[in-house]
Amino acid sequence: MIAWVLACSVGSEADFKLATGSAPPAEPEPEMVAMEEEAIADDEDQGFRAKRNEGLAKSSPRPASAPPPPPGSGRAAPDDDAAPATRSWFPETFLWAPAVVTDGDGRAAVPAVLPDSLTTWRVLGLAASAEGAQSGATLEIASSLDIYADPVAPDRLRVGDRVQVPVRLVNTTPEALGATWRASGRGLQAAGGGDVAVPAGGTRVVWFDLQAAAPGAGTLRVALEGHDAVEETLSVTPRGMPDHQLRRGVLGSGEPLELSAPDNATFARARLVLFPGPLGVLRHALDARAGGTVAYALGTRGPALLEALGASVDTDRREHLRRLELVGIQELTATASSGSLSARIAALEALDGGQPGRVAEALSVGVRELVLAEQLPDGSWRGAETLQGSLVLAAAATRAVRRPEATAAAASFFERQGGWLLHDDTGDAYTAAQVLRSGAVDGQLADDLRARVAADLDRSGDLVQIRLPPGVVGPDGRSVSPRDALASAALVVDDESTRAELLAALIASYDPAAGLGPPHEALAVLDALGLAGSAARPDTIAVALKIDGEIATRHELRGDAVAEVAVLEAEVPLSGSHRYEVVSDATWPGLGWQLELQAWTPWDAPPEDGVQLEVEREALTAGKPSQVRLWVSGAPNSLVSLREELPAGLDVVGNIDGVVRSNTTDGAWTGQVQLDGSGLAELGYRVGGALAGELWSGGFTAMQDGELSGWLPPEAFTVARTRPRASTSR
């Protein structure tokens, strides 16, 4: 590892300087610095390296400040002055210091430790003076060695895999190099090494065989003796049929869980996922492709929400928020003239909730008059098809227009329908929450509606949910989503612990592909996320998974990492029931967890009367996609869900012809296929990758009506190399 110091100087003109040096800093606070690894790879190695970095990024959370070197990395072995440092810490981004206060001379320094990656790092620094002047600078830092080894190994394998791994030996010196290299493994079988000559200023590629014999975590070590050593961690997955149990909870409020693996399990582990808090969801939503009302709400409310949740807003983020605002205001103008009543209500709520501007103020005046014109003499608004729909439409309109006369009329409407709202057979928690959010009710009716919301909280599962009868719609006439119901309830409950439960369930239900949802739902979610701003974000949160009272694995969320996903894994007992606990020393509203007990059992023969699968594959060669044909047979005119766990290093290339919808992630593809009147369907797709060797798949499964209906057990894929080896392993 390389010690590095960032020094910044902020004067009256907001000059900003970045420098490297070895002088010890004087008690600095963190400085805003972001570092991103710039991948440097030969074309031959690009596919390998992308997969390796992806896996390492998942397992190496970004520190909030310069961390101490991980144990055993970045330091020469003791008692051997000639031993090279072992490189084993490879995060892609490792430092984010969002707020630093300079000293009386306008200076501050942040010490940092560079990871072990041999690459070019980009540093971004932003500064502002007390007078409001701003400036920034970027700096590139090359992290390299004169002589080094660069193995290009996968980040995951499956039991039985035998992979041919290339190692690039690089000599940047003007002298030819003669040295010995070795490959070894812990939990893995690595066979390779020998004497090698590398020309001056040149590169030599050597190969070794890597085998995965047992499931769990394995460590690969490649050393160029006397010059460099690299250690990488690989995950080895069993080949059995997966049997996974999923539980969820909220940090700081979970009860112990009694879980047990199947009696015939051959391997089992626990996988604990720590969900990002409200800040993580907000950041993703800001980067998603939102339009219209949602884009405007994000653009105008984003800065205040980010700051309330403890995040700084840099120049790039402000520019992005400004673009969202501009895109949104253009579409809101069209909505004002031709949109539906519910669309105008959402637009008005977004316009009044953001930063004031002349265009927005003028537009909101016109939209408000259009919405007010639709209020009926009885205090409701025209356009709803049911009484429940009329109540939520009136609640949303009242909240948006904020006119005393409209609120008074709506209050009378809500009072007259109080019996309907509170009756067990007609009322519901979502409508009650919407009426409370309108601000038009108080006193006993408000208390009763709040009690109705609390009574409809369903805590029978791991995370709280809202019980809703069929047919409940939102102001736009659409069926209410669970997320909309959770957000609305969070905005009206009084109890802090209940609000934290609702926020955690809301965040756990966030679907990155769908974003924040339609306008009314998105606005409710944004308001709910803002509730977390009332609680200070802890600097650190230590989380541990305990099994039968003993810590099996632990992780510390630091700084901004509190708003990121973290994944912890631990092997678990195979037999009997055991007590699992997720404990933490602090919490933050909305932080939740997901615990998956993953077990693998032997594959049985597929049922003869279930879905039948038949696959025909072309021969595989590394770097060249090959064609796959799949035939599916089952009940006529039925919908079948498919999942194929591809071997390590292989992915679907292009589209999958014949599926209704498909998704490819984490070395697997999923899709749905519609069988025809004769109960048949044919699919075609291509797979390819960069690894060569014998690689096992994880099996092919078919689901029908929510039940596992057919499968193909794992099979071995033989992937040939495109070129002969530069040297042989031994």
CA dihedral 416, 422, 425, 428 (to 10 degrees): 110
What phi and psi values does residue 259 have, to the nearest 5 degrees? -130, 150
Pick the closest to residue 160 from 694, 698, 712 (CA basis): 694
Whole-angstrom distance, CA of residue 605 vs CA of residue 611: 13
Q: What's the whole-number mean pLDDT along residues 194-205?
A: 96
pLDDT at 102: 82
CA dihedral 321, 322, 326, 327 (to 10 degrees): -30
Q: How far is CA 436 from the centre of its chain?
A: 33
- The three-state secondary structure class of 412 is helix
- Work out the pLDDT band at 70, boundaries 50, 70, 90: very low
Q: What is the pLDDT of residues 82-138, one digit of tens each?
A: 567 899 888 877 776 766 778 888 888 888 888 888 888 888 887 877 777 778 888
Q: What is the pLDDT of residues 316-349, one digit of tens each?
A: 788 888 888 888 888 888 888 888 999 999 999 9
Is the Cβ–Cβ distance between 519 and 294 less than 8 Å?
Answer: yes
Whole-angstrom distance, CA of residue 658 vs CA of residue 644: 15
- Is 560 buried (19+), middle (13-18) or exposed (0-12) by CB count in 10 A? buried
Q: What is the pLDDT of residues 487-519, one digit of tens each?
A: 999 999 999 889 988 988 888 888 776 788 899
pLDDT at 104: 81
Is the Cβ–Cβ distance between 497 and 253 less than 8 Å?
Answer: yes
Whole-angstrom distance, CA of residue 372 vs CA of residue 349: 13
- The three-state secondary structure class of 407 is helix
- Work out the pLDDT band at 307, boundaries 50, 70, 90: confident
Take residue 430 and report the two structure tokens written for it: 């979502």
Kindly report the CA angle at 300 between 296 and 302, in degrees rounded to 5? Answer: 110
- 639 C-beta neighbours (distance < 10 Å), count: 14
> Going from the N-terminus, what domains does the chain have, and what CATH number goes with each?
2-144 (no CATH), 149-237 (2.60.40.10), 241-277+537-601 (2.60.120.230), 612-720 (2.60.40.290)
Strand-pair category, 2-9 with 107-114:
antiparallel
Q: What is the pLDDT of residues 254-295, one digit of tens each?
A: 678 999 999 999 999 999 988 777 877 888 788 777 778 888
Is residue 384 scored above 50 in pLDDT? Answer: yes
Q: How far is CA 267 from the centre of its chain?
A: 27
pLDDT at 339: 84
Task: Note the pTM of the prediction, 2 decimals.
Answer: 0.63
Cα 471 to Cα 100, 342, 389, 457, 524: the distances in Å are: 52, 18, 9, 18, 20
Q: What is the pLDDT of residues 12-63, one digit of tens each?
A: 233 334 443 333 333 322 222 222 222 222 333 333 333 333 332 333 333 3
51 vs 713, higher pLDDT: 713
